[in-house]
């Protein structure tokens, strides 16, 4: 009887599974379609970019050669890499240190600091834009790499993520290190950080993505062309004679997206583990 019921239910399970996977495949295609259109459009010459066709009729690399032909593009790329690397390093180090203090240390005002972190997460970034620019301008950091890096060396979201992750580390492990005579800095660098791989990868990837794609802040702070990042430069390079060169814009978008995709593919296992461990939705 059980075998008969199982055989009768099997087609239903297969149908449900096929429906679910079909829906997920369709959702993935809809999500990826703009990226596919951009990638294929970067190989279309001239006005063919504006035609409602997915695949290029006469594939060409002219958009890439036009974009890479100037020395300025490499300067913009180096600027983006430098700003992203320093921002990631700062967030990984400083967010982990503050998160460790909030999770494992006792000090006066700890609840107030945690409350300030949570409030900062709730405040939209655009609200802080003008006060942040006034502060940076007052410190004389406009039109400099420091002005684009220093304000984002530590983020409230990263602090909260590290705190949540470090709460799961047993206090007994830290007490054992203290009994052996280790100080807090030694405990942090020798005991805590090696256990924070998923959290470090998650913060590193999120910081890299937000910094690499940032357009508005570098556009305002970088007042000279030599300090432009890729998103800012792409907004100007895609225009010529008052018209938008969509082919060059698509090629630049592909070259801008590629590093993010590569970094994510390299860190995706740790990223997913970090998100699942901290319970961030």
The 8-class DSSP code of residue 239 comes to E
Question: Which residue, among 277, 260, 267, has the nearest Cα to 213 in the 3D structure?
Answer: 260
C-alpha 188 chain-centroid distance: 25
pLDDT at position 134 is: 92
Tell me which H or E stretch contains 259. Answer: helix 246-278
Q: How far apart are CA 160 and CA 150, in angstroms?
A: 19
Q: Quickly tell me which residue has 């900062």 as its tokens.
A: 120
Give 254's contacts (C-beta < 8 A, 6+ positions apart). 38, 39, 42
C-alpha 168 chain-centroid distance: 25
Tell me which H or E stretch contains 244. Answer: strand 243-244
Structure-derived torsion over alpha carbons of residues 214, 219, 222, 227, reported in degrees to the nearest 10: 60
Q: How far apart are CA 123 and CA 225, in angstroms?
A: 31
pLDDT at position 195 is: 86
Tokens representing 216 are 């508005």
pLDDT at position 92 is: 93
Q: How far apart are CA 274 and CA 175, in angstroms?
A: 25
Question: Which residue, among 246, 241, 240, has the nearest Cα to 46 in the 3D structure?
Answer: 246
Per run of 10 residues, the mean pLDDT along the chain (length 281 residues) is: 53 83 91 90 84 85 83 87 94 93 90 91 86 91 92 91 89 89 89 87 89 90 88 74 76 88 78 56 42
pTM of the model: 0.81
C-alpha 14 chain-centroid distance: 38
Q: Which backbone phi and psi does 193 adopt, to 5 degrees?
A: -55, -40
pLDDT at position 1 is: 46
216 within 8 A of 197, measured Cβ to Cβ: no
């Amino acid at each position: 009887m059980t075998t008969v019921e199982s055989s009768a239910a099997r087609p239903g399970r297969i149908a449900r599974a096929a429906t679910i996977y079909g829906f997920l495949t369709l959702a993935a295609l809809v999500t990826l379609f703009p990226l596919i259109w951009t990638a294929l459009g970067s190989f279309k010459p001239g006005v063919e970019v504006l035609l409602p066709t997915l695949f290029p009729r006469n594939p060409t690399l002219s958009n890439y050669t036009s974009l890479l032909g100037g020395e300025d593009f490499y300067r913009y790329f180096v600027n983006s890499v430098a700003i992203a690397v320093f921002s990631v390093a700062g967030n990984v180090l400083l967010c982990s240190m503050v998160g460790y203090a909030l999770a494992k240390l006792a000090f006066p005002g700890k609840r107030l600091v945690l409350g300030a972190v949570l409030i900062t997460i709730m405040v939209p970034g655009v609200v802080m834009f003008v006060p942040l620019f006034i502060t940076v301008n007052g410190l004389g950091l406009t039109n400099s790499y420091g002005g684009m890096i220093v304000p984002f060396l530590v983020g409230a979201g990263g602090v909260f993520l590290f705190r949540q992750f470090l709460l799961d580390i047993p206090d007994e492990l830290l007490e054992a290190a203290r009994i052996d005579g280790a100080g807090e800095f030694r405990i942090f660098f020798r005991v805590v950080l090696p256990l924070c791989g998923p959290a470090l990868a998650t913060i590193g990837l999120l910081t890299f993505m937000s910094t690499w794609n940032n357009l508005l802040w570098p556009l305002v702070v970088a007042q000279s062309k030599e300090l432009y990042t890729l998103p800012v430069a792409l907004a100007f390079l895609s225009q010529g004679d008052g018209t938008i060169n969509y082919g060059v814009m698509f090629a630049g978008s592909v070259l801008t997206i590629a590093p993010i995709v590569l970094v994510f593919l390299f860190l995706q296992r740790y990223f997913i583990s970090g998100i699942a461990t901290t319970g961030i939705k």
